Amino acid sequence: MQLTRISILGVGLLGGSVGLAAKSLLTSCKVSGYSHRPSTLQTALDVGAIDDPHAHPADAVRNVDLVVLCTPVSVFEDMLRQIGPALSPGTIVTDVGSTKRSVVALAETLLPREVHFVGSHPMAGSEKRGVEFARPDLFQNSLCITTPTRRTDKHALAGVETFWQTLGMSLVRLSPGDHDRLLADVSHLPHALAAALITMQADQGLPLAGKGFLDSTRIAGGDGALWRDILLDNRDNIRASLGRLRHHLVILEKLLEDGHEQALAAWLDQAAARRRDLLNQKLREVNPD
Amino acid sequence: MQLTRISILGVGLLGGSVGLAAKSLLTSCKVSGYSHRPSTLQTALDVGAIDDPHAHPADAVRNVDLVVLCTPVSVFEDMLRQIGPALSPGTIVTDVGSTKRSVVALAETLLPREVHFVGSHPMAGSEKRGVEFARPDLFQNSLCITTPTRRTDKHALAGVETFWQTLGMSLVRLSPGDHDRLLADVSHLPHALAAALITMQADQGLPLAGKGFLDSTRIAGGDGALWRDILLDNRDNIRASLGRLRHHLVILEKLLEDGHEQALAAWLDQAAARRRDLLNQKLREVNPD
């Protein structure tokens, strides 16, 4: 698939980085961009993330090969309704949302049959927001999850996966349901927990925070509205994740109460070993040999 | 107070770093070191963290101005019993333990009256362990909490505080009880939570972990036995911290259940703002201008 024209709906940190990466890695690829804010469109132009700015989503997607939906999850439905009639048959649409069941269901309902939707979750980002922080290498060495269903066109899936690979990502395929369930544990719950950890601190205690506290709460520095959308969209899974976390906290509390020195050290050592293995695996992914 | 001879009991990452820092920042200061492992003593000598190695704590503390207790919290009692009879009147003893009520009570009970104990908690460290990772700048720009009581000698307190300042630390004074209560929230609970967060992950989900998950669980990579001691020693406060965390998780669950978009975004935004303020304050502490 030769991509000569792509469209980015929502040119924030992620959308802007998709534009910068596509323009630097895909030869002679032109990028259309939509934002509801004129100042954002101007900045996206200024930093070179897009070539053609558009104030209306439908205008931004005419005659393109690939549309990348980069707005917050909460406006996906509105975007899909607006672009549906303007898309040419055969156009591929994907997204960068952090939850996948709802967007896949919406796209399969709202987009014309001749348009091919493939759900994507490129796991790259930053607690910063705005196109001024966009980087062409944001996706390098990170993971992208695609979430095909029985209705997904195989060629479109291959095209979207090649696109993310070109941007430097490795790929994993999951069903939308498995994606949302696993991400609740490994991403959404940790975010909620970091926010709760900050919220519960006494004013007197916070100045005593060390590097460990700062690291363990870094993800909670992100945009509230963005994370509200993710948490609400995936709330059934997050409730289940919270239940599992509580179960493990009860185990910990029992170990403390009973003063089980060996069992407590084993519980902590197992967690430490699991994290070390994970870190080594991630380092191998970035530097294979 | 001119320190010409200090003694370090337990030459691991922290003890070794105290030695390296003291030898580089205090002119003509000699450092005695104790470890129960001959190989550790040899490495401490090799990296220049100590001058005189000793296989017995009592031998290591004879004729020194300052003793710094750097062993795990669980062997503090044994150390204090062993060194008590060997200490000269006027010697100052401090420690680097992460909990303070127990060590202060033990020291005030077990050490001779003419010896002056001052509890310290230099908040510096690493998830690495061992004297081979010791660094002379480990304490630079970090916080040290001292925990004097009514029985603490004022000159000894000033001497210990000057010592940590010389190593590059800023100082906060708290009662041992306040220290343990506040640190349970801002340090011990986050550690336990990071361990629980790793433990609860499905094998299938862990490879999907991104940078956020790695950061938020970094502190759980530390030594299990060390953290077991801390968690057990401070378990009453940690139980209370867990209770407060649960309270905030119930608030979050209610916001999700009711679909309170504005209140949920406000909850997340408040946490993000509080973390930003904290980060800015920490950055100002490191770079005052």
CATH number (domain holding residue A207): 1.10.3660.10
- Confidence at residue B134, expressed as pLDDT on a 0 to 100 scale: 96
Nearest to A213 among B190, B232, B238 (CB): B190
Query: Which of B117, B148, B174 lies at the terminal end of a domain, its last residue?
Result: B174
Contacts of A254 (CB under 8 A, 6+ apart): none
Entry pTM: 0.89
Q: Return the half-sphere exposure (C-beta side, CA atoms, 13 A cut-off) of residue B102.
A: 20
Residue A73 in domain: yes
pLDDT band at residue B76 under the 50/70/90 scheme: very high
Tokens matching residue B263: 């209140």
Show the domain range for B183. Answer: 178-258
Hey, are the CB atoms on B208 and A143 less than 8 Å from each other? yes
Query: Which of A139, A174, A209 lies at the terminal end of a domain, its last residue?
Result: A174
Hey, are the CB atoms on B215 and A213 less than 8 Å from each other? no
Residue B137 confidence (pLDDT) above 70: yes
Are A30 and A4 in contact by the 8 Å Cβ rule? The answer is yes
Query: What's the whole-number mean pLDDT along residues B163-187?
Result: 97
Q: Give the residue from chain B lying closest to A258, CA to CA.
A: B232
Residue A270 in domain: no
* Shared domain check, A242 and A116: no
* Shared domain check, B145 and B68: yes
DSSP B244-277: HHHHHHHHHHHHHHHT-HHHHHHHHHHHHHHHHH
* Shared domain check, A69 and A9: yes
* Shared domain check, B189 and B137: no
Residue A277 in domain: no
Nearest to A205 among B186, B222, B224 (CB): B186
* Shared domain check, B212 and B226: yes
CA–CA separation, B275 vs B27, rounded Å? Answer: 40
Preferred mutation among B138, B145, B199 to probe A, highest tally of A CBs within 10 A: B199
* Shared domain check, B106 and B11: yes
Query: Which of B138, B159, B174 lies at the terminal end of a domain, its last residue?
Result: B174
User: Residues of A with CB below 8 A from B278's CB?
Assistant: 198, 206-207, 209, 214
Are B102 and B69 in contact by the 8 Å Cβ rule? The answer is no
pLDDT band at residue A129 under the 50/70/90 scheme: confident
CB pairs under 8 A between A and B: 269
Q: Please return the burial class of B8, using the count of CB atoms within 10 Å of its CB with bins 0-12, 13-18 and 19+.
A: buried
User: Residues of A with CB below 8 A from B252's CB?
Assistant: 192, 195-196
Are B17 and B134 in contact by the 8 Å Cβ rule? The answer is yes
Residue B52 in domain: yes
Whole-Å CA distances, B221 to A76, A161, A272, B11: 39, 34, 4, 20
Residue A107 in domain: yes
Residue that is written with structure tokens 């509390």 in the block = A253
Are A166 and A25 in contact by the 8 Å Cβ rule? The answer is yes
Q: What is the pLDDT of residues B14-43, one digit of tens each?
A: 999 999 999 999 988 999 999 999 999 999
Question: Where are any strands of DSSP class E within A153-257?
Answer: 170-173
Nearest to A256 among B178, B239, B249 (CB): B239
* Shared domain check, B160 and B110: yes
Are A138 and A47 in contact by the 8 Å Cβ rule? The answer is no
- Confidence at residue B127, expressed as pLDDT on a 0 to 100 scale: 67
Query: What's the whole-number mean pLDDT along residues B257-269?
Result: 94
CATH number at residue A32: 3.40.50.720
Are B145 and B123 in contact by the 8 Å Cβ rule? The answer is yes
CA–CA separation, B182 vs B188, rounded Å? Answer: 9
Residue A283 in domain: no
* Shared domain check, B213 and B95: no
Q: What is the pLDDT of residues A235-287, one digit of tens each?
A: 999 999 999 999 999 999 999 999 989 999 999 999 999 999 999 988 887 66
Residue A281 in domain: no
The tally of domains found in chain B comes to: 2
Residue B192 in domain: yes
Fill in the DSSP letter of residue A184: I
Amino acid at A186: V
* Shared domain check, B215 and B185: yes
User: Residues of B with CB below 8 A from A199's CB?
Assistant: 248, 267, 270-271, 274
* Shared domain check, B185 and B155: no
* Shared domain check, A191 and A132: no
* Shared domain check, B202 and B60: no
User: Residues of A with CB below 8 A from B259's CB?
Assistant: 232, 235
Among A116-130, A198-212, B79-93, B155-169, the range scoring the smallest mean pLDDT is A116-130
Tokens matching residue A232: 């609400």
